[in-house]
Each structure stands twice: as C-alpha cells, then as structure tokens.
C-alpha cells in the first residue's frame, strides 16, 4: 500500500527535474497524476535549456513504469484557461483531485537596476502569477470533491532569504509565502491544507544553471550569501525534495498548514 492510494495529484512543471520526480514519486505512492509543462522556452534571459515535449513524454513513461496512471498535457501556467481545462480533463478521467504541487518556475540573473523590464515581468508572471493561476484552477475541483486535500507550493530559499543577483526571483518566491498563507486561511474550512517548501540548490537543469556561476564570478563578494550549514553535498537530489512533498501530500502531515518548510541544508540560517 502507498501513502496516497486512490488520490489524484496535479503537478506543474512536470517535464523534468523536480516536477518529474514529484510525479514519479506520487505515482509510486499510489496517486494518479495530472501533469503539465510548457515544454518550450519561456524567457530569453534564462541561461539553461528549456524542457521539451520529449521530456514530458519521458515523465509519462516513468510514471507508467511505476504502474501509475497519468494525464499529461503541454500548458503554460500563465494561461489560466488552459490550466482549468487540464484540471477538468483530469477530474473527468480520474474522478477527483486531492493534491496540487505548484512546481513550475524559472530562474535568471541580473542586478536589479540593470535588469530589463521584461526580464522582471516575465519571471514574476511565471513564478508568482502562474502559481496563483494554478491554485485558482485546481481549488474548485478540490472543494467540490469534499475530501480535503493538500496544496504544496514550491518556493525557494530565496523566498526566505533574498539572494543577490536575482531580485526578481526573490520577489516572486517571497510572494509565494504570502499567497500560501492567504490560501491556507481561506481553505481551512474545506480541510484543504496549503504549505510552501523552500529548497536550496537542486541537481536539475535549473539548479545547475551556469548563469549563477557567471554572476558570482563577476561579483565574488556575493558568494557569502550562498553558504549552507550542511556542506557535504553542494546540491540536493530531487528525491530529497520529493520526500518533503510526499509527507505534505499525505495524512502524515494532516495537522500542518500555512507552514513554510526549508529543505535547504541550513542555507536560510547562514
């Protein structure tokens, strides 16, 4: 038996990286998965390769290899109508919605006064407004099902401790803290819990982005802001983050809501 037998989970940014791993782990624990990813470039300022449709196909293959069921579509979290349509199809296919993992996001680098307007605006639209649209699309189905449930918002260390060179990213991830708390208070009467998680660097294409190295090479005095307490590994594994997602998704965390959980090797305390 799995921790999530019979449940249905909606995962954004599922084509690769953390999102893919969350989808696979949810399936391993018994959940059916509804998955979306933009599967293409989002911002010209990103310095890592974009996910592709082939990446999303591989997520489907991996979920099915676990014996799981999945409905996956290409969709942009900035498109609320597209998200609502995918959720409706998922509920039609699987009968309910219990878990949301709002994982989709981008990251890029610049000092704030040198940052072009569209670099700021696009990142905020994806990372903050896109999560709001994700929750907006998913919540009515969760309320209608009447089963309670869990919403997991993927923020960042940068949502607890702003880092130099990415004011746009920090603003978006701090914004998710406020959205998480407001949503938790509004959804408590429906027994829907809402929490955010805050990873540090994770071994994914975004987490190994060379743009961060370029920023630190240009401004080495910024390096002191990027330390951790646990120094034996420079990057977390995707499973390290998924462990927390699985805990929040299931009943083991049934008393936890409006919380902001650092999965960060102690980075926020340095």
- Which residues are annotated as catalytic? 169
Q: What is the DSSP string of 116-150?
A: -HHHHHHHHIIIIIHHHHHHHHHHHHHHHHTS-EE
Contact 30, 69 (CB under 8 A): no
Distance of alpha carbon 85 from the chain centroid: 20
CA distances from 14 to 85, 146, 165, 230 (A): 17, 26, 27, 28
DSSP E strands, 155-224: 192-199
Look at residue 231 and give its three-state secondary structure. coil
What is the β-pairing status of strands 99-102 and 8-12? parallel
Regarding beta strands 32-37 and 192-199, do their DSSP bridges make them parallel or antiparallel, or are they unpaired? unpaired
Q: What are phi and psi of 35, to 5 degrees?
A: -130, 140
| Cα distances (angstroms) measured from residue 25 to each of 243, 249, 264 | 9, 11, 20
Give residues with Cβ within 8 angstroms of 158, minimum separation 6.
166, 169, 170, 173, 174
User: What stretches of the chain adopt beta strand conformation (E)?
Assistant: 8-12, 32-37, 70-74, 99-102, 149-154, 192-199, 260-263
């Amino acid at each position: 038996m799995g921790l999530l037998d019979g449940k249905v989970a909606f995962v954004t940014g599922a084509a690769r990286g953390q999102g893919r791993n969350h989808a696979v782990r949810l399936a391993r624990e018994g959940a059916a998965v509804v998955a979306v990813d933009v599967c293409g470039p989002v911002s010209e300022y990103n310095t890592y390769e974009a996910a592709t449709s082939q990446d999303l196909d591989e997520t489907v293959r991996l979920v099915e290899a676990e014996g799981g069921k999945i409905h996956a579509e290409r969709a942009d979290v900035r498109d609320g109508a597209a998200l609502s349509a995918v959720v409706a199809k998922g509920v039609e296919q699987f009968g309910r919605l219990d878990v949301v993992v709002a994982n989709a996001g981008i990251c890029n680098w610049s000092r704030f006064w040198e940052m072009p307007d569209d670099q700021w605006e696009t990142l905020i639209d994806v990372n903050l407004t896109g999560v709001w649209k994700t929750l907006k699309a998913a919540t009515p189905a969760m309320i209608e099902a009447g089963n309670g449930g869990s919403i997991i918002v993927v923020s960042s260390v940068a949502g607890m401790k702003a880092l130099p060179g990415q004011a746009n990213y920090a603003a978006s991830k701090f914004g998710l803290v406020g959205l998480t708390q407001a949503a938790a208070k509004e959804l408590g009467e429906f027994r829907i819990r809402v929490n955010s998680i805050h990873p540090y660097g994770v071994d994914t294409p975004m987490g190994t982005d060379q743009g961060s190295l370029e920023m630190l090479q240009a401004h080495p005095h910024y390096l002191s802001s990027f330390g951790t307490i646990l120094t034996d590994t420079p990057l977390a594994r995707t499973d390290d983050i998924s462990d927390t997602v699985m805990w929040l998704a299931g009943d083991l965390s049934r008393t936890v809501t409006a919380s902001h959980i650092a999965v960060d090797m102690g980075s926020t305390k340095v």
